[in-house]
Amino acid sequence: MLNTQSLDVAKKNLDSLSNCSFHHVSVDEIPLEDESLDFAYSLGVLHHVPDTTKAIQSVAKKIKPNGIFLIYLYYRFDNRPWWFQSLWQISDIVRSIISRLPLSLRYLSSQILAASVYFPLSRTALLLEKIYKPLPNFPLYYYRNKSFYTLRTDALDRFGTRLEQRFTKVEVEAMLKEAGFIDIQFSNSAPFWCASAIKK
């Protein structure tokens, strides 16, 4: 059964609009006509499905020629130093444990991590930026000016999800090309990797 929490939030936020429709389906069952979309986006989702390459191809089928696709996939730290990758490997051991807990314990654990790890590290990064200089390789630097709500939701997404795949920039580009996209443009700022592409 697919989780409906995000869909429920979207329905609530768009309740006043009459030109929106909502579908509770997997990516390979999108109930839209092929080549019917001018624009599609997937931000922070397709790295949580078993076959990300196939998922991108499923989305591509729904986009018109010359339509635009915006995608964000977790990166494999291919632009980070070795010690940064080592810290992630430690955190991934923690994720592998937490993600197997019952939902209530997953949520509680993620909130504790948000308060005890995400918040102090991100605010330390902010302080160092103000008194010294930006340190983009500092752990959780991206969150230095993010709200505590964002820290909480992202901690839950990071540690509460059992299936997590990560990709290099080269791999993301290859998957997009295989799905029929051209003119692939990557953002040079975090979060990585975020890219836009045009359906050929």
Answering whether pTM is above 0.85, one says: yes
pLDDT of residue 1: 40
Cβ within 8 Å of residue 91, ≥6 positions away: none
> Alpha-carbon distance 152 to 122, whole Å?
12
Which residues contact residue 102 at a Cβ distance below 8 angstroms, ignoring those fewer than 6 apart? Answer: none
Structure tokens at 99: 């993600």
User: What is the per-residue pLDDT for 3?
Assistant: 61
Q: What is the mean pLDDT of each run of 10 residues along the chain (200 residues)?
A: 72 92 90 96 93 97 98 96 96 96 96 98 98 96 97 95 95 98 96 96
Q: How far apart are CA 157 and CA 26, in angstroms?
A: 18
